[in-house]
Amino acid sequence: MKLQSILLPYGLFLGPMAGYSDHAMRQMCRKMGAEMTVTEMVSAKAICFGDSKTSLLSRVFFDETPTALQLFGHECDILSEATRKVEGGEAGYARPSAIDINMGCPMKKIISGGDGGALMKSPLQIEALVKAVALSTSLPVTVKIRAGWDEDHINATECAKAAESGGAQMVCVHGRTVKQVYSGKANWAVIGAVKGAVSIPVVGNGDILSGEDALRMKQETGCDGIMVARGAIGNPFLFREIHAALAGEPYTPPTITERVETALSQLRQACLETSEHHAIPASRGQIAAYVFGLRGAADVRRRVNCAKTYAEVEDILLGFARQSSEEN
């Protein structure tokens, strides 16, 4: 698959988020306009060791493609072996559309092992890792980086060039440094600098919370695509809003009823794929996000946090929607 075909018309990506971007969320965002999704970050080493939980995380479903499988690791042989193991997909599931290498995760447990954002310290290692993976697969290889390690070491351009030299077909740049984690503001100027320095497509990421944000990022950086992450938690409608903004069309926000129905649809899918016992607790944050800012949301959150079954959550949310409609 040529990644350029995915970048039409707008190149709207749902980014990888541990504990959030499972298949149920990815599927919903695709329905709302995401043109490509990325799996949760998966350990290359765990894949090589045959870990069963990791196998579940790396599954790509037919109804969500194109989907990139994101791996993390810092050893060429491990990443290459993991790539070969997942390239064909699992029986009954789709083949990944691309292999994405995480080189920007800021979490301590990831960088302490030399993975994720720790790789921003060594462009030479980035080039070697990308080359090793690219030589081991027929799939496109992409990378996700940050602006740099910290404010004194802004080197996204150097790292992006290294990835391109290694054979990456696309680079996604989060405008924050590794040390910032998710605090402060994303530096979009860094994204623009990377766009001017490489010939492969560049996807911008960071602080996209509205259609206007997406339009402004495109204008300010010249990026080829936009990756939405935290802004889509409980708000897959953001992709519809971005589509409208980039197309110059009016946008109508979802009603409370649509928010509730979408939240329940996503939760049902999560329950079907795992179990109520697993999906209900894992989905509480997303359900809270669906009603965030609405009158009565705090009470909904409190009650959902005590719920143990889908039926209980459904009763809470549908009651909330009915009451909101009556008040309006």
Question: Do 81 and 155 lie in a common domain?
Answer: yes
Kindly report, residue by residue over 265-284, the tens digit of the pLDDT. 999 999 998 899 999 999 99
CA distances from 138 to 96, 172, 197, 230 (A): 11, 20, 26, 31
Confidence of residue 285 (pLDDT cuts 50, 70, 90): very high
Q: Which CATH number goes with the domain that contains 12?
A: 3.20.20.70
105 is catalytic: yes
Confidence of residue 224 (pLDDT cuts 50, 70, 90): very high
Which residue in 160, 240, 233 sits closest to 203, CA to CA?
160
As a whole number of angstroms, the distance between CA 263 and CA 261 comes to: 5
103 contacts 116 by C-beta, under 8 angstroms: yes
pLDDT at residue 217, as a whole number: 97
Kindly report, residue by residue over 156-202, the tens digit of the pLDDT. 999 999 999 999 999 999 999 999 999 999 999 999 999 999 999 99
Question: Do 26 and 127 lie in a common domain?
Answer: yes
Last residue of a domain, which of 212, 247, 282?
A: 247
Question: Do 167 and 291 lie in a common domain?
Answer: no
pLDDT at residue 51, as a whole number: 83
- Give pTM, 2 decimals: 0.94
Question: Do 233 and 267 lie in a common domain?
Answer: no
pLDDT at residue 5 greater than cutoff 80: no
Question: Do 229 and 268 lie in a common domain?
Answer: no
Last residue of a domain, which of 201, 226, 247?
A: 247
As a whole number of angstroms, the distance between CA 197 and CA 252 comes to: 38
Question: Do 27 and 175 lie in a common domain?
Answer: yes
Question: Do 203 and 312 lie in a common domain?
Answer: no
Decide which of 126 and 9 is more confident.
Answer: 126
Kindly report, residue by residue over 79-114, the tens digit of the pLDDT. 999 999 999 888 788 999 999 999 999 999 999 999
Six token digits for residue 155: 């080197």
Kindly report, residue by residue over 24-64, the tens digit of the pLDDT. 999 999 999 999 999 999 999 999 998 888 888 899 999 99
CA distances from 85 to 23, 79, 97, 133 (A): 20, 10, 14, 12
Confidence of residue 6 (pLDDT cuts 50, 70, 90): low
Question: Do 236 and 269 lie in a common domain?
Answer: no
Last residue of a domain, which of 213, 247, 281?
A: 247
Per annotation, catalytic residue among 29, 105, 223, 271: 105
Question: Do 66 and 183 lie in a common domain?
Answer: yes
Question: Do 186 and 293 lie in a common domain?
Answer: no
Domains contained in the chain, number: 2
pLDDT at residue 223, as a whole number: 96
Q: What is the mean pLDDT of the segment spanning 286-307?
A: 94
Kindly report, residue by residue over 126-146, the tens digit of the pLDDT. 999 999 999 999 999 999 999
pLDDT at residue 261, as a whole number: 97
pLDDT at residue 74, as a whole number: 97
Which residue in 70, 133, 145 sits closest to 105, CA to CA?
145
Question: Do 316 and 199 lie in a common domain?
Answer: no
Print the domain residue range for 30.
3-247
Question: Do 85 and 33 lie in a common domain?
Answer: yes
Q: What is the mean pLDDT of the segment spanning 296-310?
A: 95
